[in-house]
Amino acid sequence: MPYFHVHLSVDNLATNIEFYSRLFGAQAHKIKSDYAKWLIEDLRLIFAISSRGDRPGLNHFGVQALSDEDLAVLRTRAINANEGTFVDEADARCCYAKSDKHWVSDPQGIPWEHFYTRADIDEFGDSVEAVADDEPPCCVPSPVQTGAAKGAECCTNSPEELLDRECC
């Protein structure tokens, strides 16, 4: 059975490793200087955090395939869901892994990754320096701006600011 994958960008990796290890009742499966990952068997969940996102919060959702055949099924589903945002990445090197993967964005613009990991690697992946200024480092497509997101300039993630706003 595939694992559901969630990746968050965080401000302080060490603090978040401690928090999520306690929350899940398990130590991280993989820890690097800028990344941590939990493989939580009883939830069939892969939960990852890193300091590499363009801002703290949700980075992307994903599903890890367990075979090339599973990945092919997921690829067809992704294309059927939103072919206009589909991006194929064979032999991708990201998140300390070498994988075949593809991406599609949901109606809110949230990136969804389907991947089949072939091997662990020692580097995170594409370096920040090697990526164009208008693209986030390593792998994740930029979120697509859609209707609600475009008009949500009044919204904020800060609880203090939310108290002073009427719209959110």
Taking only the tens place, the pLDDT of each residue in 61-117 is 988 999 999 999 999 999 998 889 999 999 999 999 999 999 988 887 889 999 999
- 125: DSSP letter: B
Identify the band that residue 122 occupies on the pLDDT scale cut at 50, 70 and 90: very high
Top-confidence residue, 58 or 132: 58
Top-confidence residue, 143 or 140: 140
Residue 143 lies in a domain: no
The answer to whether the CB of 23 falls within 8 A of the CB of 65 is no
Top-confidence residue, 163 or 39: 39
Which two three-digit tokens encode residue 145?
């701006």
Task: Give me the domain span that covers residue 90.
Answer: 3-120
Residue 11 lies in a domain: yes
Report how far residue 69's alpha carbon sits from residue 78's, in angstroms, rounded to the nearest whole number. 14
**pLDDT at site 18:** 92
Residue 133 lies in a domain: no
Residue 130 lies in a domain: no
Report how far residue 100's alpha carbon sits from residue 83's, in angstroms, rounded to the nearest whole number. 18
CATH number of the CATH domain containing 113: 3.10.180.10
Identify the band that residue 158 occupies on the pLDDT scale cut at 50, 70 and 90: very low
**Residue 23: which H helix or E strand, with range?**
helix 13-24
Query: Which of 19, 65, 54, 11 has its CA nearest to residue 38?
Result: 19
DSSP per residue, 64-82? E-SSHHHHHHHHHHHHHHH
Lowest average pLDDT, out of 5-14, 31-40, 88-97, 104-113, goes to 104-113
Residue 110 lies in a domain: yes
Query: What's the chain's average pLDDT?
Result: 80
**Residue 16: which H helix or E strand, with range?**
helix 13-24
Domain total for the chain? 1
Residue 36 lies in a domain: yes
